[in-house]
Chains A and B, each alone.
Chain A
């Protein structure tokens, strides 16, 4: 008994599920359900179909390289049955699964967080370096608090008006 992967969506196929299609060049395509099978018959490329793992990996939505993936490599040599080995393997599968799902969730969270922090840092740097293009350096020397627009400035009206434009 072997747990296969669907050719189209890369989900696991448990025994008793799905259809196996053997092409005349002896390439075997396994599908987890008729949705994937019908998409295959429509000659859709899984790398272009948004809900497949192939698309997500290709476009960096999901984690691609991790040491936990090494444990799931396909092995063609049958192992001699050993009760302790089996027990340890089952325990290991549980922990590896937990670790992998935790890492995947982190990856997605990092992706979703966005680049706000980086943009903020870039904005501050730009403000520090090139504020001289907007304001004369003599004005800045008088009141150094003028450099950051967030800080409330006690200056005359025309200068206060300039500040929103810098953002």
Chain B
């Protein structure tokens, strides 16, 4: 367990260092006048675990939540899983307020998820739709693309609200 955690932290640390190095190199690049706008970002994307900040893509009022527990999954949550999260940032007049503990369904994950035909999907960011304990979404609209893995997980309501199904 500790070894697992240690390896996880080392991975996180390495990616953080990698990010820092990239930032430093890009800063140096711009200071030298070289207009290279990209940095090699060969990041290892991992699970959604405790302290992961996710974007909220419905109109429930919250903007950013931090995962405090991934239900199901020793290493963390993936695309289509539910998590328990704490609201860190919210719209001033919304259904949920800052500091509230909510359930959420991960609709977009940067870590690739294997599909049953053998291919893999990955999204641009980590996004979540807030739900209640029964699994019904709190908001009435969902923004951005959602995967059709949600159908298998019985989150049909979210699929119907979605604008685009990946």
Contact = CB atoms under 8 A, between A and B. Distances in A.
B2 interface: no
Interface string A1-27: 100000000000101111111111010
Given A26-B144, A42-B40, A19 B120 contact: yes
A141 B41 CA distance: 76
A interface bracket (residues with beta carbon within 8 Å of B): 10 to 19
B33 to A, nearest CB: 20
Contacts, number: 56
A13 B119 CA distance: 10
Interface in B122-166: 122-125, 144-145, 147, 163-164, 166
A42 B125 CA distance: 17
18 contacts: A15-B117, A15-B118, A15-B119, A16-B118, A20-B166, A21-B121, A21-B123, A22-B108, A22-B147, A22-B166, A23-B124, A24-B123, A24-B125, A24-B144, A26-B145, A26-B164, A28-B166, A38-B42
Given A22-B108, A41-B42, 10 more contacts: A16-B118, A19-B120, A19-B122, A21-B123, A22-B123, A23-B124, A24-B125, A26-B144, A41-B40, A43-B37
Interface of A: 1, 13, 15-24, 26, 28, 38, 41-43
